[in-house]
């Protein structure tokens, strides 16, 4: 694995649009610290009428916009190489400054909520651009603590974030994998190489050996990781109790503007109704690969690995332009800029964060992290992250910083939509049975398996964990392993052998430190599946509705956003239709596989 200093610069992102020099970064930090002090001096204890409310919110908006690039720069420079001492210290320093500012300005929310609701309504009339911000404040009023308590909690901000930072340090800095051997040949192993390559390896001996070696090393860190996670859970539970929420679930779903019914439905329906379809898919994989038994380590292999082409970064650009052209000229320009201006970090290097993500700082262009393996399925990963980028590229142009971010429930709809658009494009441009099977199997294995199976089973497991915590219990490695294994066995039944090490997959996912996030992938993809079918059948009118949704940002609730796009998520029908659609894809794979097999006889 290359060190960060050894990778090609054209494969890295360019962070200079955030700050051209370290000196400018330091100056920006000093500036926001000064602004925070000025806001405190000017407004603390003096917010008594509607105009005061508008003035303090406007001042906070200006500060918030200045804070965003600082936090983004610190976060991204650490994500590209967690072993970098300078990046570690910078990130820690920014965290401390953010905690200080949070404590200093906690009075804003406290004092605004002490005003009569009629005064806040008048403030909305004076400044309609702050309506959403004020409405969200009013929603929080029942759970607001005494001003001094809020100040104390804000001061602990960076401390409360420590479990997530500890998790990443353990995973990406301390945890080192030994090479593994198969038939006398040695193979290198790392987090990124396992999740990006070895997990998808078509050679069964190599793939299973990599899984065994990977799991063995994870096991060495299971107790530390479990204790870190338990600490995070206790922080969430304590906060929920202090604020008077009935349960930890209510506290975590509050900001998502989603009730327990939508949350539970997503997990329960998929766990029961999708499982039979995915078991058929697992059996098809087993048959096509001639496996004596199907194990957990075999679930991510390609249905036809000899067909999957390798693809360069430059070739991926053409796929993005072709597959997403239906989104219009402005969107197309965004795609071109993302490559031309180095918004994307493709490099593989030591210490780099695993997986892929998109960071979209307000007032700046988005940034995407991905570790490019040259596998064709990376086209779907990149399309996914560019879906996030396109979403915030559009909403940031239309909305202020308070209105730009939608509910977490909706956040994965634009990303998974791009995967569906890419699939629609590829399928419409070929009648070759083998190519069609490859595209459909990629949709199932990458888009739906990742979002409707991997993340959904994480959500089912996470719900069991939170139930224990909500009842006043604790978790350790043994409990977490047991819960994870139970969820996997319930879903896969006797179709897939849940091999030793599968239970440790709870150690691999950072989403557990982000509240009730895992279930939102399937929620977003449910919306995306229905809208992509509308686009396929109706064309431009459906595209225009979707663009309206993207530009609306956080000005609407998830239910309202979905409704604009033509989907009613207050019922279970969109989810049932999506599960049926997945079943139809697997039907097609079975038919195409029979057709291809008969041609080869």
Q: What is the CATH number of the domain that holds 156?
A: 1.20.140.70
Residue 250 lies in a domain: yes
Residue 465 lies in a domain: yes
pLDDT band at 173 (very low <50, low <70, confident <90, very high): confident
Residue 378 lies in a domain: no
Whether 60 shows a pLDDT value over 90: the answer reads yes
User: According to the model, what pLDDT value does residue 442 have?
Assistant: 87
* Predicted model pTM: 0.87
In terms of domains, do 11 and 156 share one? yes
Q: Report d(CA 389, CA 382) in Å as an integer.
A: 10
Share of the chain above pLDDT 70, in %: 100
pLDDT band at 88 (very low <50, low <70, confident <90, very high): very high
> Residue range 493-500: average pLDDT?
96
Whether 601 shows a pLDDT value over 70: the answer reads no
In terms of domains, do 247 and 213 share one? yes
* Tens digit of each residue's pLDDT (9 = 90 or more) over 283-300: 999 999 999 999 999 999
Q: CA 264, 268, 271, 274 torsion: positive or negative?
A: negative
C-alpha distance from residue 300 to each of 61, 578, 581, 592 (Å): 45, 21, 20, 19
In terms of domains, do 63 and 200 share one? no
- Which residue has 């991926």 as its token pair? 316
Task: Please state the domain count of the chain.
Answer: 2
Residue 339 lies in a domain: no
SS3 369: strand
> Residue range 565-589: average pLDDT?
94
In terms of domains, do 203 and 257 share one? yes
Domain boundary among 160, 192, 220: 160
- Per DSSP, the residues of 215-283 read HHHHHHTHHHHHHHHHHHHHHHHHHHHHHT-SSHHHHHHHTTT--HHHHHHHHHHIIIIIHHHHHHHHH
> Residue range 87-97: average pLDDT?
94
How do the residues of the chain divide into helix, strand and coil, expressed in percent and rounded to 5?
A: 70, 5, 25
Please tell me which residue, 387 or 439, carries the higher pLDDT value: 387
In terms of domains, do 30 and 134 share one? yes
In terms of domains, do 183 and 264 share one? yes
In terms of domains, do 151 and 246 share one? no
Average pLDDT, the chain: 94
Residue 461 lies in a domain: yes
* Tens digit of each residue's pLDDT (9 = 90 or more) over 253-278: 999 998 899 999 999 999 999 999 99
C-alpha distance from residue 196 to each of 32, 122, 545 (Å): 39, 54, 35
- Which residue has 């995915």 as its token pair? 278
User: According to the model, what pLDDT value does residue 287 have?
Assistant: 95
Residue 230 lies in a domain: yes
In terms of domains, do 155 and 189 share one? no
User: According to the model, what pLDDT value does residue 328 have?
Assistant: 94
| Listed residue (67, 6, 57, 74) closest to 35, CA to CA | 67
In terms of domains, do 8 and 130 share one? yes
User: Residue 492, Cα to own-chain centre: how many angstroms?
Assistant: 24
In terms of domains, do 116 and 185 share one? no
* Tens digit of each residue's pLDDT (9 = 90 or more) over 502-520: 999 999 988 899 999 999 9
8 Å CB contact between 124 and 134? yes
> Residue range 566-592: average pLDDT?
94
Whether 452 shows a pLDDT value over 90: the answer reads no
User: According to the model, what pLDDT value does residue 526 have?
Assistant: 93
- Per DSSP, the residues of 470-539 read HTT----HHHHHHHHHHHHHHHHTTTSB--TTGGGGGGG-GGGGSSS-THHHHHHHHHHHHHHHHHHHH-
User: According to the model, what pLDDT value does residue 1 have?
Assistant: 79
Residue 34 lies in a domain: yes
User: According to the model, what pLDDT value does residue 435 have?
Assistant: 86
Kindly report which listed range (53-62, 68-77, 332-341, 350-359) carries the lowest average pLDDT score: 350-359
Whether 341 shows a pLDDT value over 70: the answer reads yes
Q: Alpha helix (H) ranges present in 293-371?
A: 313-323, 329-340
Q: Report d(CA 260, CA 267) in Å as an integer.
A: 11
Domain boundary among 128, 160, 192: 160
Q: At what angle do helices 477-492 and 275-289 cross, to 10 degrees?
A: 80
Residue 131 lies in a domain: yes
Domain boundary among 112, 128, 160: 160
User: According to the model, what pLDDT value does residue 427 have?
Assistant: 86
Domain extent at residue 126: 4-160
SS3 192: helix
Sequence-ordered list of residues with C-beta below 8 angstroms from that of 283, at least 6 positions apart, any chain: 294, 495
In terms of domains, do 231 and 145 share one? no
In terms of domains, do 54 and 138 share one? yes
Share of the chain above pLDDT 90, in %: 83
């Amino acid at each position: 694995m290359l060190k960060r200093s050894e990778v090609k610069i054209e494969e890295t992102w360019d962070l200079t649009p955030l700050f051209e020099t370290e000196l400018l970064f330091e100056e920006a930090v000093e500036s926001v610290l000064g602004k925070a002090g000025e806001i405190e001096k000017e407004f603390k204890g003096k917010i008594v009428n509607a105009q005061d409310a508008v003035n303090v919110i406007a001042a906070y908006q200006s500060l918030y916009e200045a804070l965003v690039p600082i936090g983004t720069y610190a976060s991204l420079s650490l994500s590209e190489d967690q072993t970098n001492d300078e990046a570690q210290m910078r990130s820690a320093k920014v965290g401390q400054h953010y905690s200080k500012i949070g404590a200093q300005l906690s009075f804003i929310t406290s004092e605004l909520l002490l005003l009569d609701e009629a005064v806040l309504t008048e403030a909305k009339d004076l400044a309609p651009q702050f309506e959403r911000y004020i409405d969200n404040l009013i929603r929080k009023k029942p759970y607001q603590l005494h001003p001094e308590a809020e100040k104390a909690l804000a001061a602990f901000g960076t401390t409360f974030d420590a479990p997530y930072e500890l998790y990443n340090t353990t995973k990406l800095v301390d945890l080192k994998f030994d090479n593994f051997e198969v038939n006398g040949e040695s193979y290198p192993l790392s987090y990124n190489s396992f999740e990006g390559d070895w997990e998808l390896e078509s050679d069964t001996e190599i793939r299973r050996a990599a899984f065994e070696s990977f799991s063995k090393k994870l096991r060495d860190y299971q107790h530390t990781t479990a204790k870190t996670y338990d600490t995070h859970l206790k922080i969430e539970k304590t906060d929920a109790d202090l604020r008077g929420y009935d349960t930890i679930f209510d506290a975590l779903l509050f900001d998502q503007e989603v009730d327990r019914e939508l949350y539970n439905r997503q997990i329960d329906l998929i766990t029961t109704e999708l499982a039979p379809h995915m078991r058929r898919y697992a059996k098809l994989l087993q048959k096509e690969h001639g496996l004596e038994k199907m194990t957990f380590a075999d679930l991510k292999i390609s249905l036809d690995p000899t067909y999957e082409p390798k693809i360069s970064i430059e070739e991926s650009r053409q796929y993005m332009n072709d597959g997403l052209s239906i989104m219009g000229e402005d969107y197309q320009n965004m795609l071109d800029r993302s490559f031309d201006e180095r918004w994307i970090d493709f490099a593989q290097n030591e210490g780099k964060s695993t997986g892929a993500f998109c960071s979209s700082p307000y007032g700046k262009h988005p940034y995407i992290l991905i570790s490019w393996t040259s596998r064709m399925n990376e086209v779907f990963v990149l399309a996914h992250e560019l879906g996030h980028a396109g979403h915030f590229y559009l909403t940031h142009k239309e909305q202020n910083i308070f209105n730009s971010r939608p509910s977490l429930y909706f956040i994965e709809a634009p990303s998974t939509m791009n995967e569906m658009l890419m699939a629609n494009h590829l399928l419409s441009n070929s009648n070759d049975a083998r190519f069609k099977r490859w595209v459909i199997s990629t949709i199932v294995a990458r888009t739906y398996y990742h979002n409707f199976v991997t993340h959904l089973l994480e959500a089912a497991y996470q719900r069991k964990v939170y139930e224990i915590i909500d009842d006043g219990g604790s978790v350790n490695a043994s409990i977490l392993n047991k819960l994870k294994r139970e969820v996997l066995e319930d879903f896969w039944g006797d179709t897939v052998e849940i091999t030793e090490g599968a239970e440790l997959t709870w150690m691999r996912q950072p989403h557990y430190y982000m509240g009730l996030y895992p279930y939102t992938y399937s929620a977003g993809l449910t919306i995306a599946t229905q809208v992509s079918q509308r686009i396929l059948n109706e064309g431009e009118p459906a595209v225009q509705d979707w663009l309206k949704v993207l530009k609306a940002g956080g000005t609407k609730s998830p239910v309202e956003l979905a409704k604009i796009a033509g989907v009613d998520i207050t019922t279970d029908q969109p989810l049932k239709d999506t599960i049926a659609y997945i079943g139809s894809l697997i039907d097609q794979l079975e038919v195409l596989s029979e057709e291809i097999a008969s041609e080869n006889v």
